[in-house]
Amino acid sequence: MKQLELLYSGKAKSVYRTDVKGTLIVEFRDDITAFDGGKKDVLRDKGSSNAGVSAFFFEYLERHGIKTHFIRTLDGNRMAVRELFMIPLEVIVRNLAAGSVVRTYPFSEGMPFNPPVIVIDYKDDTRHDPMLNDDLIIALGLVTPRELKKIKSIALKVNTLLSELLASRGITLVDFKIEFGRRGKSICLGDEISMDSMRLWDKKTGESLDKDVYRFDKGDVMATYHSVAARIAGHGTGSGTPETRQTGDA
Ligand code: 5GP
């Protein structure tokens, strides 16, 4: 498969067209940003670390009946994915109160949400990703009421699956953000699931194991990302999981 022109470049990933119809390549770059791009750096191996973890999660979710865009890992920091028509929503599932929900509302950090809380933001950097409600989502024509119901039910299923897997690694899934796209009539999970898009706490120590380490200068970001990748996917970074490692035609 040949990588062709750049279609889109976000804060940490680039998407390329390929010579295979309906297949794109996502490149996870070493860029890291926080606070609407107000803080940025380039961290060696960060792209391959997040690509490895994302590939691992996508395969795990596919095995449990969740449709995702993931096709296969190509090399350290690139994966082949199915082309989706992305829906500009950031779907956040929260199991414990942390981050913006603690800054905005009178929740104390670490307070459990039972059932989990779903928050949906409008993905638009120029508007600073404002929070939506169901009526606004429908009024904006972003999805149909039926699609919205489906998106929420997939998000909750993903939450259960990821929480279970992470718990078995001694990690609490505090919250995470996922994005969806359309492929024909189906709704598929797109984008990434990595330490950049999740909030993870060590079950024993409460230590942050995610981008909060970068946001709030809590320590060595890449040491954290490497150790979490190894803990989650049972591997270092850069080579894909045993299941995703591919040779040959990238
Ligand atoms: P918060 O609303 O507390 O800032 O974020 C909640 C969760 O969603 C966190 O795990 C955070 O990393 C993720 N999240 C929220 N917005 C974004 C975003 O624009 N990009 C990424 N990668 N993750 C996000």
Q: Among 54, 57, 131, which Cα is nearest to 99's?
A: 131
Atom of ligand 1 nearest to the CA of 119: 2
The whole-number pLDDT of residue 233 equals 85
- Please write down the long-range contacts of 27-32, taking CB distance under 8 Å and 24 or more positions apart: 27/77, 27/78, 28/54, 28/77, 28/78, 28/79, 28/192, 28/194, 29/77, 30/77, 32/196, 32/211, 32/214, 32/221
Residue nearest to atom 7 of ligand 1 (CA): 176
pLDDT digits (tens, 9 = 90+) for 118-172: 999 999 999 999 999 999 999 999 999 999 999 999 999 999 999 999 999 999 9
Residue 250 Cα to ligand 1 midpoint, Å, equals: 31
Ligand 1 centroid to Cα of residue 249, in Å, is 34
Pocket of ligand 1, candidates 162, 163, 172, 177: which has the most ligand atoms within 8 Å of its Cβ, to mutate? 177
Task: Supply the DSSP string of 91-146, one letter for each residue.
Answer: EEEEEE--THHHHHSS--TTPEEEEEEEEEEE--GGGT--B--HHHHHHTTSS-HH
State the 10-residue block means of pLDDT for the chain, 250 residues long: 97 98 98 95 98 98 98 97 98 98 98 98 96 98 98 98 98 98 97 98 98 97 97 59 33
90 lines ligand 1 (CB under 6 A): yes
Is there an atom of ligand 1 within 6 Å of 92 CB? yes
What integer pLDDT is reported at residue 241 of this predicted model? 37
Residue-level pLDDT at 39: 97
The pTM for the full model equals: 0.93
Is the beta carbon of 191 within 6 A of some atom in ligand 1?
A: no
13 CB near ligand 1 (under 6 Å): no
User: What's the CA gap between 222 and 45, in Å, rounded?
Assistant: 8
Q: Is the CB of 211 under 6 A from ligand 1?
A: yes
Least Cα distance to 96 among 163, 196, 50 occurs for: 163
- Pick the atom of ligand 1 nearest to 211's CA: 12
What distance in Å separates the CA atoms of residue 24 and residue 87, rounded to the nearest whole number? 17
Residue 88: its pLDDT value, please?
A: 98
Alpha helices per DSSP H over the chain: 46-63, 100-104, 134-139, 145-167, 212-215, 221-233
pLDDT of residue 234: 76
Residue 214 CB less than 6 A away from ligand 1: no
For position 163, what pLDDT does the model report?
98
> Does the C-beta of 100 come closer than 6 Å to ligand 1?
yes
Q: Which residue's C-alpha comes closest to atom 20 of ligand 1?
A: 197
